[in-house]
Amino acid sequence: MTAHDLYLLSPELSMVGLATALLLLDLFVARKSLILGLGVVGLIVPLGFTIALWFTIGDDSAAENTGVLAGTLVVDKFALFFKFLFIGAVAVVGLISVDYVQRFERFRTEFFALALYSATGMMLMAATVELITLYISLELSSLPLVALAAFLRDGRSSEGAMKFLVLGGISSAILLYGMVYVFGFTGTTYLDEVAARIGDLSANSDQPFGSYALLLGIALLIAGFGFKITAVPFQMWAPDVYEGSPTPVTAFLSVASKAAGFAIILRVFYVAFPVEELSIEWSAVFAALAALSMTVGNLVAIAQSNIKRLLAYSTIAHGGYLLVGLAAVAARTGGDEVDFGPSGVLFYLAGYAVMNLAAFSVVIAISNHINSDAIKDYAGMAKRAPYLAAALAFALLSLTGIPPTVGFIAKVYVFGAAVNAGLEWLVVVGVINSVISAYYYFSVIKVMYLSSPQSDEPILSRFPIRLAVGVTTVGVLVFGVYPIVLLDIAKAAAQALFS
Amino acid sequence: MSDWLEIAAWLVFLLPLASFVLIVAFIRPFFIQYADVAGRITIGAIAIAFALALVLFVEVVNNGGRQIGWTGHEWLAVGEFDLSLGIFMDGLTAIMLVVVTGVSLLVQVYSTGYMKDDPGYARYFAYMSFFTASMVGLVVASNVIQLFVFWELVGLSSYLLIGFWYHKPSAAAAAKKAFLVTRLGDFGFLLAIFYLYFNGATFSAAGLNALDIPDIHDAMNMGIIAPGVAMWIALGLFAGAVGKSGQFPLHTWLPDAMEGPTPVSSLIHAATMVAAGVFLVARFFPVFEASEIALNTVAIIGGITAVLAATMGLVMNDVKRVLAYSTVSQLGYMMLALGVGAPGGGIFHLFTHAFFKCLLFMGAGSVSHATGGTFDMRYMGGLRPHMRWTYITFLIGSLSLAGIFPLAGFWSKDEILAFAFGGDGTVSLVVFLLAVIAVFMTAFYMFRALFMVFEGEYKGGADADPDAESHGPSDHPHESPHSMIGPMGVLAVLAVVAGLLASPIIDLGPIPKHWLVHDFLHSDGADFNILIAAGSTVLALAGILLAYLMYLSKQISAERVGSAFRPLYILFSRKFYFDELYEEVVTVRLFYRVVARALDWADRSIVDGAVRLVDQFSRNVGRGIAQAQTGQVQGYGMAVSVGVLAILGAYLLFK
């Protein structure tokens, strides 16, 4: 461990430091909202370190100068991309919880501190290149989330958290099983060495994945990761947990936790199993999961009457669109644009983060006021809260994938990658699903704009929430109108997977 | 340096857009009591944009009128599909920018007077800013898709402005008509874009991008595009231009568009919207040049429009409608010029026309302002002593439009006539004759309007007009406020001198003969032909004389002429029955009764059935899956296990 290693780990270390400092401050400071504000502002430190790292490491992040802690962690643009995303997401979550924490009688500071710890785990997940470290960082991100889900301490919240814990345990076990098989077959837990060993071993073409052991290993890994990214049929926990949790936690789960899941899937599958025959086979599994997730998520969302539950199913559907990008492996067609699919996934994740956080920010602003998450209670919001209603409508348009929003560009990019990879059928499924999704997104807009309001009382919201709504909405528009900057960053990040 | 210029070019577009956003997002919701700020913001933004446009114009002049090359900004690249946004700055763009921002600026100043006390004052200026921004976006576009987006935005904003007084049914109907009729042409434009895209391989073989406008020019110059392909692209683009520029047979929306506030009409007719069609053809002129059929189509449609619209202008009683048909006719002139291979002449006429037509509309607005809100010339008359400035400027505009030496309209019209005359082939000769006929009619209808409005006895204004929509005080006609007269004065000066920029005989030193056409737009100019110049002037004077005899000295009775040519009179005043043809025959008989009925049946039985099926299917499936969401953790764990087994099973069974 050298000073340079400390520098490489500085974003994570400063996150942990920030969380701990907030907990300590809690002992002395009576105004808890002040601590929350301090926490959000304090995120500048890890953000600053991440930006510094982005510009100091080269494009080809050679492992020898970025490998940390015996080479289990790597600091490359791929990891840094996700660190930006997690820091941004946790900052927005901090802003939108400002009113929400008033509902808790105790542990107000712990709420944000736990979110910071969880985000630290996610940052490590994005950086890890070794299976055991991966497992530990995954648990570091999950356990605080369980506590956060239970924070309301009412029946639904506790029930959701319990399910999250039990099913999270099951999926962890499955994941570990999968890792064991991979380790048993290759004799190593380092992803790059796994790839090398698989290349050395002569594959038996009669067996799927060249060997039954790898088949079992990969299938179990997919199931374990599938829990994290709410891929059908591993998504069952999500609606209950999303509905029961405090809404800022739901937003965090649906954006950051899901992004972390995609980070490790991209890392594991593109680094450890990049062999051509292998990648074609696992991409078929992802394609099937993509079709299932999109279809199930959208169809069930139609029937929802609660906005949080609706967004939960919408999250599942968007997991499906993201999986389309994951399934778009260049090896399928022997194409040369290797980073097309992964960079599409990264762009989609960032775009999804801003649009979903925009939607959740508005939902929080409104539900804080009307104490209801029922869609029918959004009637006439366009009159009671014109700006919030417009922002929510815009976010929903983006989630549907209509220009000029980031959601449109993200879908174009991911579907374009799939077409390039010869997955036209999957794109057809995706487009049909986008049409279905328009139905339930638009029905929310319709209720807000065409139904008459239940009261004329305007919705007031506090500055931090308005700031969150404003920043995310501008993000949806800017990335939708001028996407190339973010696309270039996503491409640079995806390139790191192939160096 | 060129970086700085590119920022300036973007600002010309962004400033009006910012003004729109500012008014819509802040002034209207929060500060509506300060609505008059909206006008100042708009004027300020457009004034700066105009200054920048002048700077850009000078830079392009210094560059010899050639394109200032800026690389596009990559906007989206998905595989083969590569889309860059950028600014295409050449002589055409530079002069259009000056015209658009300059005329828009004057119209905004005029509007502060004209729209004073209108309840929608802030909304009006928001739309005007948006309209200007869209038009600027259109003329600077370096990519076909970019151009198309702004093309549609121009259509949208004109829809909003024509229907500005949306509570008036006629305004709402006119807005709808403008939107739908132009959309017919846009369909052709869209097809042309698709056709370009599908020919992308030809372009990329030469390292070019099929959607990039400079690349399209290069491809045409290299001759890698077959004439047949160029013809279809050109005809598609021309269809778009026919819709936007109100050319025959899609001209019917333009006169109805008079329902909007008068300053909107002057902006639409002078600098934006209708100029877009002419601009489009000029912008893609190399494509048109590659196909003789396309060029001839443009020339003939232009010639027909020039005469047809002029005949309708002869008999209208609404002063704005006279001007509207005059615009259609003059746009026909511009198209005709493009069609005979004189893009420089066409744009030159667009340039001069922008000034005098804008001026004439402002004059019509001023007159209506004075008479309490009527536009019907039969209830005006005798306004000359009351409205000195309006009269003088209107007279200058009319003389310029009629093409009287040495006003601006004379030079640009003569340029087109001489070029058409000098061209070889029957088409040139035919359109030359059409253009000559139009010269006579133009002079006649303009002076008919001038005499009816300003001479004779005052006939009561809006109070006498049973159809007038608003009844302001009309018993004492009065001159309009300075905010309205000022812009008219500026335009009147321009309507006199603007022609010198491309005069074929006057050499001003820094501005040599044919400057605008030759040296700036790099187009062929026609040599001055004294016979044509004298002949067309005599024809115009004859038109003025006839108008004088019929409407001022009354030596020829207008009524008797009308009854002698009764069938023609009816045909003209009913606008050749085009509205009836489109609305009753095409829309009602053919479309409603035949096509719509068949589609209705198909919709009810096939489409609805399928939709209901999908609806029920997805709802039931959705509910079914939702049933699985029992809330039981055991069930959820089960689903995970089943999922793992399914993945394994699929591979074991099928591999």
C-beta atoms of B78 and A413 within 8 A: yes
Task: Give CA separation, B516 vs A223, B93, B513, B520, in Å.
Answer: 71, 13, 9, 5
Instruction: Look at the alpha carbons of A288, A290, A292, A295 in this order and tell me if their dihedral is positive or negative.
Output: negative
Q: Degrees (nearest 5) of the Cα angle A208, A212, A218?
A: 80
- What is the average per-residue pLDDT within A465-494? 89
Which chain A residue has its CA at the smallest distance from B634's CA? Answer: A167
Task: For residue B406, say if its preceding peptide bond is cis, omega within 30 degrees of 0.
Answer: yes
Facing B640 at nearest CB: one of A234, A409, A419? A234
- What is the average per-residue pLDDT within A36-49? 90
Give the pLDDT of residue B475: 65
A203 close to B (CB below 8 A): no
Q: Which residues from A are below 8 Å from B77, CB to CB?
A: 484, 487
Q: At A43, phi and psi to the nearest 5? A: -65, -15
Give the pLDDT of residue A86: 95
Q: Which residues of B22-40 are buried (b: 16+ CB within 10 A; e: fewer)?
A: bbbeebbeeeeeebebbbe
Give the pLDDT of residue A260: 93
Q: Which residues from A are below 8 Å from B71, CB to CB?
A: none
Facing A220 at nearest CB: one of B75, B644, B652? B644
C-beta atoms of B622 and A302 within 8 A: yes
Torsion region of A187: left, alpha or beta (phi above 0 gives left; psi -120 to 50 gives alpha):
left
Residue B52's contacts (CB-CB under 8 Å, 6 or more residues apart) are B8, B9, B11, B12, B15
Q: Which residues from A are below 8 Å from B637, CB to CB?
A: 166-167, 170
B653 close to A (CB below 8 A): no
For B595-652, what is the HEC assignment?
A: HHHHHHHHHHHHHHHHHHHHHHHHHHHHHHHHHHCCCCHHHHHHHHHHHHHHHHHHHH
* Maximum separation of any 2 CA atoms in chain B, in Å: 103
Give the pLDDT of residue B209: 77
The residues facing B143 across adjacent strands are B212
- The residue among A215, A300, A419, A437 with the most chain B CBs within 10 A of its CB, best to mutate, is A300
Q: CA-CA distance, A238 to A304, in Å (whole number)?
A: 14
Task: Give CA separation, B219 vs B87, B196, B211, B284, in Å.
Answer: 19, 12, 11, 12
C-beta atoms of B626 and A303 within 8 A: yes
Condensed to tens digits (0 to 9), the pLDDT of residues B288-324 reads: 888 888 888 888 888 888 888 888 888 778 888 888 8
Give the pLDDT of residue B584: 66
Residue B32's contacts (CB-CB under 8 Å, 6 or more residues apart) are B122
For B68-104, what is the HEC assignment?
A: ECCCCEEEEEECCEEEEECECECHHHHHHHHHHHHHH
Is the predicted pLDDT of residue B482 greater than 60, yes or no? yes
Q: Are B197 and B211 in contact (CB under 8 A)?
A: yes
Q: CA-CA distance, A352 to A333, in Å (whole number)?
A: 28
Of all residues in chain B, what percent carry a pLDDT higher than 70?
Answer: 88
Give the pLDDT of residue A202: 63
Of B537, B540, B563, give the one whose Cα is nearest residue B315: B563
B79 close to A (CB below 8 A): yes
Query: What distance, in Å, lies between the first and last C-alpha atoms of chain A?
Result: 25
| Chain B (568-607) residues lying within 8 Å, Cβ to Cβ, of chain A | none
B29/chain A closest Cα distance in angstroms: 9
C-beta atoms of B621 and A299 within 8 A: yes
Helix (H, G, I), strand (E, B) or coil at A190: strand
Which chain A residue has its CA at the smallest distance from B618's CA? Answer: A299
Condensed to tens digits (0 to 9), the pLDDT of residues A260-283 reads: 999 999 999 988 888 877 888 888
Q: At A374, phi and psi to the nearest 5? A: -75, 135
Q: CA-CA distance, A400 to B465, in Å (whole number)?
A: 53
How many other CB atoms are found less than 10 A from the CB of residue B55?
A: 15
Instruction: Tell me the whole-structure pTM to 2 decimals.
Output: 0.75
C-beta atoms of A236 and B78 within 8 A: no
C-beta atoms of A240 and B631 within 8 A: yes
A97/chain B closest Cα distance in angstroms: 27
Give the pLDDT of residue A315: 93
Facing B629 at nearest CB: one of A219, A226, A239? A239
Is the predicted pLDDT of residue B374 greater than 60, yes or no? yes
B625 close to A (CB below 8 A): yes
Q: Which residues of A354-383 are buried (b: 16+ CB within 10 A; e: fewer)?
A: bbbbbbbbbbbbbbbbbeebebebbbbbbe
Helix (H) or strand (E) holding B450, with range, is: helix B426-454
CA within 13 Å, CB half, A281: 24
Strands A73-74 and B73-78: unpaired
C-beta atoms of B76 and A409 within 8 A: yes
Q: Which residues from B are below 8 Å from A167, CB to CB?
A: 633, 636-637, 640
Q: Which of A458-472, B243-257, B605-619 has the highest mean pLDDT?
A: A458-472
Is the predicted pLDDT of residue B260 greater than 60, yes or no? yes
Of B232, B140, B153, give the one whose Cα is nearest residue B188: B232
- What is the average per-residue pLDDT within A231-243? 86
Is the predicted pLDDT of residue A243 greater than 90, yes or no? no
Is the predicted pLDDT of residue A360 greater than 90, yes or no? yes
Which chain A residue has its CA at the smallest distance from B25's CA? Answer: A387
C-beta atoms of B77 and A487 within 8 A: yes
B649 close to A (CB below 8 A): no
Task: Give CA separation, A249 vs A12, A124, A138, A436, in Å.
Answer: 20, 20, 17, 27
CA within 13 Å, CB half, B560: 6
Helix (H, G, I), strand (E, B) or coil at A128: strand
Q: At B43, phi and psi to the nearest 5? A: -60, -45
Task: Look at A342-351, B608-617, B635-644 and tell me which has the smallest mean pLDDT.
Answer: B608-617
Q: Which residues from B are below 8 Å from A302, CB to CB?
A: 618-619, 622
Q: Which residues from A are below 8 Å from B650, CB to CB?
A: 288
Task: Give CA separation, B46 vs B100, B578, B651, in Å.
Answer: 10, 38, 66
Q: Are A327 and A425 in contact (CB under 8 A)?
A: no
Alpha helices in A57-154 (DSSP H): 63-66, 77-96, 108-127, 131-149
CA within 13 Å, CB half, B12: 33
A337 close to B (CB below 8 A): yes
A–B CB contacts, 8 A cutoff, strictly below:
100
Confidence of residue B445 (pLDDT cuts 50, 70, 90): confident
Mean of the per-residue pLDDT values of chain A: 87
CA gyration radius, chain B = 28
Q: CA-CA distance, A203 to A250, in Å (whole number)?
A: 44
Q: CA-CA distance, B389 to B370, in Å (whole number)?
A: 12
Residue B236's contacts (CB-CB under 8 Å, 6 or more residues apart) are B188, B189, B190, B191, B192, B193, B195
C-beta atoms of B637 and A167 within 8 A: yes
Condensed to tens digits (0 to 9), the pLDDT of residues A81-116 reads: 999 999 999 999 999 888 777 777 677 788 889 999
* Maximum separation of any 2 CA atoms in chain A, in Å: 72
A298/chain B closest Cα distance in angstroms: 8
Q: Are B465 and B374 in contact (CB under 8 A)?
A: yes
Task: Look at A39-43, B126-130, B588-592 and tell me which has the smallest mean pLDDT.
Answer: B588-592
B651 close to A (CB below 8 A): yes
- What is the average per-residue pLDDT within A456-460? 81
Condensed to tens digits (0 to 9), the pLDDT of residues B78-107 reads: 666 677 788 888 888 888 888 889 888 888
Which chain B residue has its CA at the smallest distance from A210's CA? Answer: B655
Give the pLDDT of residue A64: 47
B640/chain A closest Cα distance in angstroms: 5
| Chain A (25-54) residues lying within 8 Å, Cβ to Cβ, of chain B | none
Helix (H) or strand (E) holding A446, with range, is: helix A424-450
Condensed to tens digits (0 to 9), the pLDDT of residues A320-339 reads: 999 999 998 866 776 667 77
Q: CA-CA distance, A108 to B149, in Å (whole number)?
A: 50
Q: Are A483 and B76 in contact (CB under 8 A)?
A: yes
Give the pLDDT of residue A119: 94
- What is the average per-residue pLDDT within B214-233? 80
Q: Degrees (nearest 5) of the Cα angle A438, A444, A450?
A: 115
Mean of the per-residue pLDDT values of chain B: 80
Helix (H) or strand (E) holding A303, with range, is: none
Query: What distance, in Å, lies between the first and last C-alpha atoms of chain B?
Result: 64
| Chain A (355-394) residues lying within 8 Å, Cβ to Cβ, of chain B | 386
B198 close to A (CB below 8 A): no
Q: Are A318 and A326 in contact (CB under 8 A)?
A: no
Q: Which of A64-68, B285-289, B479-483, B529-533 has the highest mean pLDDT?
A: B285-289
A141/chain B closest Cα distance in angstroms: 21
Give the pLDDT of residue A58: 64
Is the predicted pLDDT of residue B441 greater than 90, yes or no? no
Is the predicted pLDDT of residue A475 greater than 70, yes or no? yes
Is the predicted pLDDT of residue B2 greater than 60, yes or no? no
Of all residues in chain B, what percent carry a pLDDT higher than 90?
Answer: 0
- What is the average per-residue pLDDT within B177-190? 83
Which chain A residue has its CA at the smallest distance from B652's CA? Answer: A208
Give the pLDDT of residue A144: 92
A167 close to B (CB below 8 A): yes
Q: Are B51 and B164 in contact (CB under 8 A)?
A: no
A124/chain B closest Cα distance in angstroms: 26
Give the pLDDT of residue B592: 64
Which chain A residue has its CA at the smallest distance from B636's CA? Answer: A236
Q: Which residues from B are below 8 Å from A419, CB to CB?
A: 79
Is the predicted pLDDT of residue A59 greater than 60, yes or no? no
C-beta atoms of A483 and B75 within 8 A: yes
Confidence of residue B589 (pLDDT cuts 50, 70, 90): low
Give the pLDDT of residue B415: 82
Q: Which residues from B are below 8 Å from A386, CB to CB?
A: 29
Confidence of residue B345 (pLDDT cuts 50, 70, 90): confident
Q: Which single residue is written with the structure tokens 């009775």?
A: B557
Is the predicted pLDDT of residue A60 greater than 60, yes or no? no
Confidence of residue B583 (pLDDT cuts 50, 70, 90): low
Q: Which residues from B are below 8 Å from A163, CB to CB?
A: 633, 636
- Residue bearing the bigger pLDDT, A181 or B259: A181
Q: Are A242 and A315 in contact (CB under 8 A)?
A: yes
A487 close to B (CB below 8 A): yes
Confidence of residue B1 (pLDDT cuts 50, 70, 90): very low
Torsion region of A422: left, alpha or beta (phi above 0 gives left; psi -120 to 50 gives alpha):
left
Condensed to tens digits (0 to 9), the pLDDT of residues B112-153 reads: 878 777 777 888 888 888 889 999 988 888 888 888 888 888
Is the predicted pLDDT of residue A63 greater than 50, yes or no? no
Task: Look at A108-122, A380-394, B32-46 and tell me which has the smallest mean pLDDT.
Answer: B32-46
B26 close to A (CB below 8 A): no
Q: Which residues from A are below 8 Å from B76, CB to CB?
A: 409, 412-413, 483-484, 487
Q: Are B417 and B534 in contact (CB under 8 A)?
A: no
The helix, strand and coil proportions of chain B, stated in percent and rounded to the nearest 5, come to 75, 5, 20
A137/chain B closest Cα distance in angstroms: 22
Of A486, A484, A421, give the one whose Cα is nearest residue A290: A421
